[in-house]
Structure 1
Amino acid sequence: MKNNGSPRKNIQRKYRRFLGPVTDLEEHVEPDWWSRIFNSLYLKTDADVVDDINITREEVDLFSRVLNLSPDDHILDLCCGHGRHSLELARRGFRNVEGLDRSHYLIQKAKNQAKKEGLNVKFREGDARKLPYSPDTFDVVLILGNSFGYFETVEEDLKVLKEVFRVLKPWGKILIDVANGEYLKNNFQPRSWEWIDKKHFVCRERSLSVDGKRLISREVIVNAEKGVIADQFYAERLYTHEELEGLLKAAGFSDVKFHGELSPTSQRNQDLGMMERRIIVTAVAKKEWTPVRKKPEQTTKNVVVVLGDPRKPDHLKPNSIFDEDDFYTIDQMKAALRSLKGYNFSYLDNHDTLITDLMKLKGKIDYVFNLCDEGFNNDPRKEAHVPALLEMLGIPYTGSGPQTLVLCYDKSLIRGIAREMGIPVPRAVFIKPEDTTFELPFPFPAIVKPNFGDSSFGITQKSVVYTPEELINAVSEIRNKFGYDKPVLVEEFLTGKDLSVGIIGNPPDSYMVLPIIEEDYSALPPELPRICGYEAKWLPDSPYWNIKSIPADLPEETEKFIIDCCLKLFERLECRDYCRFDWRLDAEGNPKLLEVNPNPGWCWDGHLAKMAKIAGMSYAEMLGAILKAAEERLNIR
C-alpha cells in the first residue's frame, strides 16, 4: 500500500480536519489509522496498482510458481482488501479460496464482484490478530500488497504471524509480499504529487519516525472542483530481510526463504510509494496436528430465555398490557429458536419468582438469552437490573451489561460521549423538570423527546415543532399526557434520511454489519412530519403504521463514515453481541447520530430483523447469530 483514503471525505466540511504545514508528521498518526482509511478514495489513489488486472495476474503467476499451488489447496488471502488476488485465483479454478480484511467497504466490494462473476470465494470481515478459523484449516496463507506492518508495535505484527501459524495445516506455507524496508528507508520521496484521475490529484509528504523504524506518510487529496477532500496520515513499519526472518521464526515458522523482489509498473508512471520495491518471503509451518477435542456425549446447549412479564402492566404498550400482537411475537421467537439445532430452550417470564428461579438453575444451564428489554417488572428504567442480577448470580448471559444499558438510556449522555469522540450529533438543549421557560440556541424546526426512554415513548407527530408555542405545548404533552417527569431533550429536527445500522458480533474481533436501512415515508400524508415514533410502532390505525423500511441508498463515503462511527461507539460503550444505531441526515446529506440501542428489539418484524432479511438471513438465523456471538465472547463451546 502506498496511499489510502479517508472515510470522511464527503461529510460536511465542518467535520473535516485539514492542516496546513506540519513539522512533525508522526504526531498526527492515530494508532488505528488502518481501521478506517481503506475505502473508495484508497482505490482511487492506488488504482494504478490495485486496479490493474495485468499487475494482479503477474503477481498471481509469481506467487503460484513460488508456492507450487494446487487447485485443491485451501488458501487464505489475509488482509485481502477488495479481493483482487482472491478473485483472480478463483478465476483460475482454485476452489477453496477465502479472503479476510478489516475494511467493511472493501469486503463488501469483494463480495459484490464475486457475486457478479459467479466466483466461489468466501469473504468476511475480521482482525488479523484474532482469526475466526479453527487450527489446521489452510494449506496456504497469503499476506499480499504490502499489508503487513501497520500496527504500532512489532509485538502486534508477531500476533498476526502466530495466528497464521495456528490456522495453517502442518507443512502449510505462508507467503508475505511486503515493502523492502531497507531500500525505502534510504530512497523514499519526501514530497510528491500526481493526478489520480481527471478530477483528483494527491500530494504526499513522507518522513521517518523518530526511531527510524516506520515510514510516516501524509496524503492531501484534492478535487479540482471542490477543493481538499482528505488530509490523512498513516505509518508502516520498515522491515529488513533479517527482521522478517527473525519475526517468522519467533512465530514458529521454519525454512524461511526469500524469492527476489517485486516492482510493479504503474500505468500513471508516478510515485509508487510503499509499493515500489517489495520483498517476497515464504516460510513453512512445521508442527504437529492440533489434537482434536472429543465432543462430549451431550452436545446440546441448555439456554434459558428471560422475557418481560406478561402478567404485569407495561406502561409503554397501548392499554399498558401484553396484547395478541405481543403473544404472537413471542410465539414467532419461540418457533425460530426451536428450529436451531443443538439447543434446548426454556423460558422464564414470571418476575415475582425470577430471582429464585435463576438461583435454582445456576450451574445447570450454559447461559441466559436475555430478551427482557422491557426491564425487570416491565419497568424500562430497570432494564439493567436483569443483567446485574445475572452477574451477581454468576450466570453468563447474552447482550450488553448493566453499565452499557444505563449509559445508553440517557440520550444526552450518549450525545456527550459521541461529541467527545468527534462523532456529529444534532444541536440540542436540555430541559430540566423544573424549567418553565426555555429558548432554543438553533432555529426551528425541532423535535421534543424524553431524555430517558426507549420504544419511542413520548414521541408523536406533535413532537416536531415549528414555533415557540408548539415547543411549549410539546413539552407540556410529554409531561402531562405521558406522565413523564424527567428531563426533556429538544434537538434540531433533521429533514434528511432516517437511518438504522445493526451490528451483530463483537468488534474488533468478529462481527457483521447488517445492511443499513432507511425509513420510507412516501405513504405518509405530506402534512405529517417524517418520524418513526410511538404511532408507527404501537398504533395500527395511525397513518404512520404504513411506514416501511427499505435498503438505504447512500453515497459510499457517507455509509463508510456512519459504519466507522458505529464500530467506535460499540467498543467505547462496551456494547456486546448486538446493537442498533439510529442516525439521520440533515438537509445537506450530513449524518448525525441520534441514539445507541444496545440489546435492541429482537422481534420478528423489528428493525434488526429487517436488516438481517436484506442481508439474506432468516429470523432464526439472526437469533442464532446473536447466540453464536455471545458464545464466542463467553468462550462457550
Structure 2
Amino acid sequence: MNIGLTFDLRRQYEQMGLSKEQTAEFDSEETIDCLDQGIKNAGHEVSRIGNIKSLVEKLALGMRWDLVFNISEGLHGRSREAQIPALLEAYSIPYTFSDPLTLALSLDKAMAKAVVRAAGVPTPDYFVVDSFERAALPPLKRFPLFIKPLSEGTGKGIDTASIVGNETEFKERCEFVLKMYNQPAIVEEYLPGREFTVGILGTGKNARAVGTMEVKLLDNADPLVYSYANKEFCEERVKYVLCRDEAIVNEASEIALMAYRAIGARDAGRVDLKGDAAGRLSFIEINPLAGLHPSHSDLPILCALNGIGYDELISGIIQSALERSEIKPLAAGRWQPDNCENCSRS
C-alpha cells in the first residue's frame, strides 16, 4: 500500500517565529525519518504529505493514498487535532488513530473527564475557570489544587506553581493560564501519589494494554509535577520504570481501557493516571495521538521497556487501522488524480 504521512514539523513553525514551548507538540526531522522507515519496514510505500496546508494542496491536485498515517497536532483552535482527520473523512480517505470527535473531545480535558466519569472511570473532582471573575471564587476549598491549561499537551503550562495551596495562589495561577495561554484553566484536586502512564494498542474490544510505566522524577527535575520542562528534558530529569506490581498493573490497565473505550480512541494511545494519598489510581487525561519519537516519547519508551520494538509498534498501529477500515488499494499502490477511474473514493 501507499501510505501518506501527515505531520507538523517543529522546525518549520520555529522558523515562523513560534517559541520552543509553542511547538512542543510538533515533531522533529528525526521522528519523521524514523516513522517513515518504520512504515517501510512494515512493507508499505511512504508519501510524506506534511501539515494540513500541504494536505489541502495535494488533495486539490487530485492526490490520494490507500491510508494516511496521521500524527499532525494542528496549530489553531481547541479542535486542532481533529482538522486533518475531518478533512480526510470528507474525501473518504482512511487514516490511523482516532476520529475528529474523539480528538476534539480529548483535547478539552474537562469534556474528556465528563465522558469517562459518566462511564464509571475514577477521576479527581475538577472544575473549569473560564474568566477572571471565576478565578476569584474557587468552588473547591480543599487545597492543594492543581491548575493547568484546558486544551494543551506535552506538559505545556505546567510547572511547580501549578500546585496551589490557598486562594491567593489559586487566583494568581488561574489568571496566569488565562493570560498566557488564552484559554480556560482546568482545576483538579491535587493527587500526591505515584504517576503512571498506560500504553494501549488496538480499537474497541480488540484494544489491549501493552504496559504500565511509572514516571519517576529525578533530583534535578521540577519537583512533584510532570512539567513541560521535565518532559522536554526527560533524558536528564526523568526515570521511566516498567511497573511489574501485578495489582497496580491490573488496576491501571482496567482504568485505562475503560477510559480509552469510553472516549472512542482507536489504534493506539496513552492514558495518564495518578494515585491519591491512599494509592488509589485515578484518570488524569488521555492522549489518543501520542508522540512517536522512538526514544523521547512516552509510548515508544513504554513499549521498548516491555519488549515491543518500534517497528512492531508502528506495524501494530497500521494493522489496527486496516482491521477497522475497508481499504481497497489504489492501482499499483500509487496516488491517482480525481478523474482517474480508480479514484471512486473522492
Using the alignment, how far apart are the partners of 1:396 and 1:532 within structure 2?
34
Aligned with 2:184 (options 479, 484, 487): 487
Aligned with 1:564 (options 254, 258, 272): 254
Q: Which residue of 2 aligns with 1:333?
A: 35
Comparing 600-609 and 439-448, the one that deviates more: 439-448
Q: Which residue of 1 aligns with 2:100?
A: 402
Using the alignment, how far apart are the partners of 2:209 and 2:82 within structure 1?
25
State the SS of the aligned residue for 2:12: coil
Corresponding position: 1:500 with 2:197: yes
Matched to 1:498, the amino acid is E
Q: Which residue of 2 aligns with 1:137?
A: none
| Count of matched residue positions in the alignment of Structure 1 and Structure 2 | 324
Using the alignment, how far apart are the partners of 1:432 and 1:484 within structure 2?
12
**1:467 CA displacement:** 2.6
Q: Which residue of 1 aligns with 2:305?
A: 614
Corresponding position: 1:390 with 2:84: no
State the SS of the aligned residue for 1:415: helix
Q: Which residue of 1 aligns with 2:174?
A: 475
Q: Do the aligned residues in 1 keep the contact of 2:121 with 2:258 (CA within 8 Å)? A: no
Residues 1:323 and 1:468: Cα distance change in structure 2 (over 3 Å): closer
State the SS of the aligned residue for 1:395: coil
Q: Which residue of 1 aligns with 2:273?
A: 583
Corresponding position: 1:552 with 2:238: no
Q: Do the aligned residues in 1 keep the contact of 2:129 with 2:174 (CA within 8 Å)? A: no
TM-score (norm 1): 0.47
TM-score (norm 2): 0.84
**1:420 CA displacement:** 1.6
Q: Do the aligned residues in 1 keep the contact of 2:42 with 2:315 (CA within 8 Å)? A: no
**1:333 CA displacement:** 2.5
Matched to 1:308, the amino acid is D
Q: How does 1:220-231 map to 2 (within 5 A)?
A: none
Q: How does 1:61-72 map to 2 (within 5 A)?
A: none
Aligned with 2:8 (options 294, 302, 308): 308
> Could you say which structure has the higher strand fraction?
1
Matched to 1:535, the amino acid is A
- Stretches of structure 2 that go unaligned for 5 or more consecutive residues are 329-346
Larger radius of gyration, structure 1 or 2? 1
Cα shift readout 1:305-347 (whole Å, capped 9, x = no counterpart):
0111543358885165689982233233333334x14210110
Q: Which residue of 2 aligns with 1:598?
A: 288
Corresponding position: 1:412 with 2:106: no
Q: Do the aligned residues in 2 keep the contact of 1:577 with 1:629 (CA within 8 Å)? A: yes
Aligned with 1:518 (options 200, 214, 225): 214
**1:350 CA displacement:** 4.9
Matched to 2:204, the amino acid is P
Higher normalized contact order (CA 8 Å, seq sep 6+, divided by chain length):
2
Matched to 1:501, the amino acid is V
- Stretches of structure 1 that go unaligned for 5 or more consecutive residues are 1-300
Aligned with 2:129 (options 419, 423, 431): 431
Matched to 2:150, the amino acid is N
Using the alignment, how far apart are the partners of 2:189 and 2:152 within structure 1?
19
Using the alignment, how far apart are the partners of 1:519 and 1:596 within structure 2?
15
Using the alignment, how far apart are the partners of 2:2 and 2:197 within structure 1?
33
Residues 1:466 and 1:564: Cα distance change in structure 2 (over 3 Å): same
Using the alignment, how far apart are the partners of 1:516 and 1:331 within structure 2?
27
Aligned with 1:531 (options 217, 225, 243): 225
RMSD value over aligned CA atoms? Answer: 2.7
Residues 1:370 and 1:390: Cα distance change in structure 2 (over 3 Å): same
> Could you say which structure has the higher helix fraction?
2
Aligned with 1:463 (options 144, 158, 162): 162
